[in-house]
Chain A
Amino acid sequence: MIRIQNKIAGIVCAVLLLAWPMPGSAEYDYINISNPFLKKIPIAIPVFKAFSRSSAENIAAKSAADLLSKTLEYTGYFKIIDRAAFLADPQQPHIDIPDIVFRNWTGIGSELLITGGILLHNDMAEMELRLFDTIKAKLIVGKRFKGGDKDQRKMIQRFASDVIFSLTGDRGVFNSKIAFVSNGTGNKEVYTCDFDGYNPRQVTQTNNITLSPAWSSDGKWIAYTAYSKKNTNLHIMNLEEKRGAVVSQKGLNISPAWVPNQFTLAATLSFEGDPEIYLLTGSGKIIKRLTQSVGVDVSPSWSPDGKKMAFVSDRSGAPQIYSMDLYTGRTERLTFEGGYNTSPSWSPKGDRIAYAGMQNGQFNIYVITTDGQTLVQLTRDAGDNEAPAWSPDGNLIAFSSTREGPSKIYVMTAYGTDQRRLLTLPGEQTAPNWSLRIMND
């Protein structure tokens, strides 16, 4: 069941972004939650109306509409209808009831319609955005945004979030970021980018090998592995303040994973003679040891409630995925197919785990339900596909792939559809890690 919020508490952020809703109605069941990508919903997003028709406004009217199309298309839920098919006159955009002629939209097969109006003056921008059900001829959600000229992208993303929320009850991925490793500088360093691959930014400058970035739940900290001359150390860094802790026990200090909503993380340390998973504070102090087995225990990934941890262990003779209950300490093996399974990532929906498995010399992304009953292969015949990372709403998976030659970051839906490259950077990109939604970005 989907709800429409009539009154939403204003989302106030530092850039004076004000948004308030317009009256909408009722509850609709638009997206099939169990497999939302089976049938994509046709949606039309015409060029916005330029209120004062200045040339800058005309340009912005198109670019904002295009950005909204791209952003919504990224989710995999929608089929964006080509504007060439539109029946309505683009010179006379109708953006609200009663002006909208809905049969112009149902006539071309569109089930949803988004209209927008934009006003630019001085250095300020104002947008009105509305989502309509064309068949029922009703408004689903409408918002007005006011802010600086440079905040247009944020306004669009916020509205996209409102659209997804009104259709699914979930806020979507639009405020999240992806961390990854790239060697474009000649050395492997940690980078971050927006959820859709925009604004890549280099975050570390170790001029050495840097690996395994991991976001904390609030998006303020990143943990990663970096080399000194004689050791492999774990760095825990506050992104804004560039301060933090270093864990440099003798031997390995690798593969960090933050416990959801806590300033605590799991990591693999080998200072006691064997690579085992330990629990650490965000300041780098060891709380306790979690695994107890001879052999490699590595790559932890937490369930969204923080009560269970998936990890890789070769205690059976080869690497497989295991799941440990933190309270009871009970550990059970999850993967029995294939002789080499690594890199688990627990879905934020809680019910399934993605991982990378090698069969016939090739790596592919698999998803297994946490009860171990259902196993699905998501990639095939496309090079080596590794290091899966779920989006915060559990609908998308980022991963690395060598299908084009050098390793790049790709994104696909949770069901393996719509596989496409996230961004283009020099060198090779690996090890994506997807943050939760970051507020006050």
Chain B
Amino acid sequence: MRKKFWISLALLLVIPGLLFTVSCAKKTVKSEASVSEMPKSEMAKETVKEDTSAADKARAEAAALEKQRMEAERQRMLEEERLNAQKLRETQLEEERRQAEIAKKLEDAKKKVFLTELVLFDFDSSVLTETAQDRLKRKAEWLKENAKASVIIEGHCDERGSNEYNLALGWRRAEAAKAFLVDLGVSATRMSTISYGEERPFAQGHYEGAWSQNRRAHFVLE
């Protein structure tokens, strides 16, 4: 019974002592925690000693951590930059693609206008009306922008009149359109003419709505 009593007492003294030893050290680094009830001077000395090495350790740890952090930060920033750069490139590429698509659509649209905008004539006439002249001006612009294009200008007539007379009239219509374009600066060697008279109508029907569509100079790319 007495042995048990002394063992318990020893434990009762040691364990708190250990606890105080450890906690005192920490408290010294933070320099805020209250001091325990253990003998102060010895604790303090030990604490200071432990403090110093612990502090050093902690400082070193901290420095290492800081270094690590900074390195990580640096890496992260590099990665971010890289990602940004890549995104930028992709965006740029996307933008370029979009621009190119728009440009192509514009080109196609201009070409379509060139091919489909009608140059029409009055009955039995190869004189260029104002509307016809405006449209031919636009065609001249397109031809100048597309210097490699060669074109066949077809002359057509509505179904009225003799086939032979209409062949000649169709020829005069094609030639009138060509001469106008030459005067606007398009090279004559890029344009050839042919007359189809009334032989190849675009619109079927025996009334002015159809006839007016067929009295035309028609442009075909070679």
A268, B164: Cβ atoms closer than 8 Å: yes
A298, B171: Cβ atoms closer than 8 Å: no
The interface on chain B, measured as residues whose beta carbon lies within 8 A of the other chain's beta carbons, has a size of: 20
Pick 18 A–B contacts, CB within 8 A, sort by A.
A211-B163, A211-B199, A230-B192, A254-B167, A255-B167, A270-B168, A275-B171, A296-B172, A298-B168, A299-B165, A318-B124, A319-B124, A342-B161, A342-B164, A343-B162, A358-B160, A358-B161, A363-B160
A80 located at the interface, meaning its Cβ lies under 8 Å from any Cβ of chain B in the complex:
no
B195 located at the interface, meaning its Cβ lies under 8 Å from any Cβ of chain A in the complex:
yes
| Closest partner residue, chain A, to B207 (CB atom) | A361
| Closest partner residue, chain B, to A297 (CB atom) | B168
B20 located at the interface, meaning its Cβ lies under 8 Å from any Cβ of chain A in the complex:
no
B193 located at the interface, meaning its Cβ lies under 8 Å from any Cβ of chain A in the complex:
yes
| Closest partner residue, chain B, to A228 (CB atom) | B194
Residues 147-162 of B at the A interface (beta carbon under 8 Å): 152, 160-162
The docked-state distance in angstroms from the alpha carbon of A255 to that of B200 is 18
Binding site for A on B (CB under 8 A): 124, 152, 160-165, 167-169, 171-172, 192-196, 199-200
A212 located at the interface, meaning its Cβ lies under 8 Å from any Cβ of chain B in the complex:
yes
The docked-state distance in angstroms from the alpha carbon of A430 to that of B195 is 19
| Closest partner residue, chain B, to A275 (CB atom) | B168
| Closest partner residue, chain B, to A361 (CB atom) | B160
Chain B residues within an 8 Å CB radius of A211: 163-164, 167, 199
Chain B residues within an 8 Å CB radius of A312: 162, 164-165
The docked-state distance in angstroms from the alpha carbon of A212 to that of B168 is 13
A contact patch SS = strand
A275, B162: Cβ atoms closer than 8 Å: no
Chain B residues within an 8 Å CB radius of A128: none
| Closest partner residue, chain A, to B169 (CB atom) | A296
Chain B residues within an 8 Å CB radius of A270: 168, 171
B contact patch SS = mixed
Give the size range of A's interface with the partner. 20 to 34
Q: What is the minimal beta-carbon distance from A214 to any residue of chain B, in angstroms?
A: 11
With A231-B194, A270-B168, A270-B171 as given contacts, are A209 and B162 in contact (CB-CB < 8 Å)? no
Residue among A230, A252, A319 facing the most chain B CB atoms (10 A cut-off) = A252
B165, A319: Cβ atoms closer than 8 Å: yes
Residues 275-289 of A at the B interface (beta carbon under 8 Å): 275
A209, B168: Cβ atoms closer than 8 Å: no
A386, B124: Cβ atoms closer than 8 Å: no
Contact of A299 among B164, B194, B196 (CB under 8 A): B164
With A230-B152, A251-B171, A268-B168 as given contacts, are A386 and B162 in contact (CB-CB < 8 Å)? yes
| Closest partner residue, chain A, to B222 (CB atom) | A230
A232, B194: Cβ atoms closer than 8 Å: yes
Residue among A188, A231, A251 facing the most chain B CB atoms (10 A cut-off) = A251
With A252-B171, A296-B169 as given contacts, are A343 and B194 in contact (CB-CB < 8 Å)? no
Binding site for B on A (CB under 8 A): 188, 209, 211-212, 225, 230-232, 251-252, 254-255, 268, 270, 275, 296, 298-299, 312, 314, 318-319, 340, 342-343, 356, 358, 361, 363, 386-387, 430-431
Chain B residues within an 8 Å CB radius of A252: 167-168, 171, 195
Contact of B168 among A254, A356, A358, A386 (CB under 8 A): A254
Residue among B161, B164, B169, B172 facing the most chain A CB atoms (10 A cut-off) = B164
Q: What is the minimal beta-carbon distance from A101 to any residue of chain B, in angstroms?
A: 55
A298, B164: Cβ atoms closer than 8 Å: yes
Chain A residues within an 8 Å CB radius of B160: 358, 361, 363
A298, B152: Cβ atoms closer than 8 Å: no
Chain A residues within an 8 Å CB radius of B194: 230-232
B162, A254: Cβ atoms closer than 8 Å: no
Contact of B164 among A209, A251, A254, A361 (CB under 8 A): A254
The docked-state distance in angstroms from the alpha carbon of A212 to that of B30 is 117
Chain A residues within an 8 Å CB radius of B192: 230
Supplied contacts A188-B199, A342-B164, A343-B162, 17 more A-B pairs, CB within 8 Å: A209-B196, A209-B199, A211-B199, A212-B164, A225-B167, A230-B192, A232-B194, A232-B195, A252-B195, A275-B168, A298-B167, A299-B162, A312-B162, A319-B165, A342-B165, A358-B161, A431-B163
The docked-state distance in angstroms from the alpha carbon of A373 to that of B85 is 94
Chain A residues within an 8 Å CB radius of B199: 188, 209, 211
Contact of A298 among B165, B193, B196 (CB under 8 A): B165
The docked-state distance in angstroms from the alpha carbon of A370 to that of B193 is 37
The docked-state distance in angstroms from the alpha carbon of A358 to that of B192 is 32
Chain B residues within an 8 Å CB radius of A431: 163
Chain B residues within an 8 Å CB radius of A430: 163
